[in-house]
């Protein structure tokens, strides 16, 4: 299996601001950890330095007026009227190089899609990608340009059927909405329920519109769900969808803000459940474009995405993080010195209530989505 890893140190030089939860250093840490394991020198692996997407690429989804505003604030200075595009203090700050950052992230995801679609590689991982909340004319949820949507559009232009799988704790609303009325993209999002979490969407009754009826799949998980509940929901829904939809290419968003210690969500997953879901995607995908996503505990991000990259390459790696890496980055959250988390399983009345809710959601999805796709 031939693979490609998209990365450049330039990605980690952009800065959302000291108080912002998204730290681009997580990309540098992921690169360094995968390299320390020898995963970037495997014979089947190519390390690709991404190039910036063009304005023309971004216009495949985003409105020209919005892109003009992003260019204006690329200097790091707020301009009059930018707030109407979702920009300003808070989730989507203006910082120096904002537009360059967005073009570089999107360029990496486009290259990953192109390498996979052309057959040069079987799977590609763009760790900076997966910014799934951005709208056509506004920023949202730390996302300025929606690289998953643009990468998927590039695959559709080649006549490919795309299955999009989103594992982020937050619903992939921007991607869902972009393809809500088409039957050429099946979007699947397994996330914490929007009842109490941004963006407040992604309920099981959001199933698509028009030709896209049945092609939007949402599996909202109750807060504090653990690996057991996550894998139950994933296994009940995702593998059957492969058989029903028969995609040419899979695009996955591998956000890890679903982990126990992440500060921005309330799920209790670990590398165990995450790794098993990634393994299933690896086994089922004819061609695979993997994107990063959320994750605000930087050590979790590096550990999980290093594990994902090993799985994508079909190799096993030891649990002990290499000493050379720990010497440099132990203080960044790697004090435990291990790649994988210990097993974690919830018990008690709360767990049983969550189990019943997950079973209910799975039942609803099976009753509404499976018949629509099985026509």
Active-site residue list: 133
- The verdict on whether omega for the bond into residue 199 sits within 30 degrees of 0, i.e. cis, is yes
Please report the DSSP string for 251-267 in residue order: EEE---TTBTT-TT---
Decide: 126 and 291 in contact? Cβ < 8 Å.
yes
Cβ neighbours of residue 374 closer than 8 Å, sequence gap 6 or more: 244
Beta strands in 101-192 (DSSP E): 123-126, 162-166, 185-192
Interatomic CA distance for residues 369 and 356, integer angstroms: 20
Question: CA nearest 295: which of 31, 24, 107?
Answer: 24
Decide: 44 and 313 in contact? Cβ < 8 Å.
yes
**CA 287 distance to own-chain centroid:** 17
Handedness of CA 91, 95, 100, 101 (dihedral sign): negative
Please report the DSSP string for 317-371 in residue order: --SBPPHHHHHHHGGGT-TT-BSSPPP----SHHHHHHHHHHHHHHHHHHHHHHH
Question: CA nearest 105: which of 3, 13, 207?
Answer: 13
Q: Classify each residue of 324-345 as buried b or exposed e, where b means 16 or more C-beta atoms within 10 Å of its C-beta.
A: ebbeebeebbbeeeebbbeeee
Total residue count of the chain as it appears in this document: 375
Decide: 205 and 179 in contact? Cβ < 8 Å.
no
Interatomic CA distance for residues 35 and 16, integer angstroms: 26
Decide: 166 and 253 in contact? Cβ < 8 Å.
yes
Decide: 92 and 142 in contact? Cβ < 8 Å.
yes
């Amino acid at each position: 299996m031939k693979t490609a890893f998209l990365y450049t140190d330039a990605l980690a030089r952009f800065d959302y601001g000291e108080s912002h939860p998204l730290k681009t250093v997580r990309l540098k840490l992921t690169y360094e950890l995968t390299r320390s394991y020898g995963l970037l020198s495997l014979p089947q692996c190519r390390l690709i330095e991404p190039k910036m997407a063009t304005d023309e690429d971004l216009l495949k989804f985003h409105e020209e007026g919005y892109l003009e505003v992003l260019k204006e604030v690329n200097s790091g200075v707020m301009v009059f009227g930018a707030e109407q595009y979702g920009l300003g203090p808070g989730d989507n700050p203006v910082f120096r190089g904002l537009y360059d950052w967005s073009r570089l992230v999107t360029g990496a995801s486009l290259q990953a899609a192109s390498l996979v679609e052309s057959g040069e590689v079987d799977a590609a991982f763009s760790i900076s990608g997966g910014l799934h909340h951005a709208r056509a004319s506004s920023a949202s949820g730390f996302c300025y340009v929606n690289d998953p949507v643009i990468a998927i559009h590039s695959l559709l232009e080649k006549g490919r059927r795309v299955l999009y799988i989103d594992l982020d704790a937050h619903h992939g609303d921007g991607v869902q909405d972009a393809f809500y009325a088409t039957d050429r993209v099946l979007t699947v999002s397994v996330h914490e329920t929007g009842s109490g979490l941004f963006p407040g969407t992604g309920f099981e009754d959001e199933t698509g519109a028009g030709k896209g009826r049945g092609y939007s799949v949402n599996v909202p998980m109750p807060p504090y769900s653990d690996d057991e509940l996550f894998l139950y929901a994933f296994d009940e829904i995702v593998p059957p969808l492969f058989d029903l939809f028969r995609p040419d290419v899979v695009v996955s968003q591998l956000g890890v803000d679903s982990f126990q210690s992440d500060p921005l969500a309330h799920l209790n997953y670990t590398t165990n459940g995450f790794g098993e879901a990634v393994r299933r995607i690896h086994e089922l995908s004819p061609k695979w474009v993997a994107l990063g996503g959320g994750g605000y505990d930087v050590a979790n991000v590096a550990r999980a995405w290093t594990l994902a990259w090993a799985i994508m390459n079909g190799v096993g790696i030891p649990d002990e993080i290499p000493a050379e890496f720990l010497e440099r980055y132990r203080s960044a959250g790697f004090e435990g010195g291990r790649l994988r988390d210990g097993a974690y399983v919830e018990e008690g009345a709360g767990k049983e209530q969550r189990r019943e809710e997950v079973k209910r959601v799975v039942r609803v999805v099976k009753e509404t989505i499976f018949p629509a796709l099985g026509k």
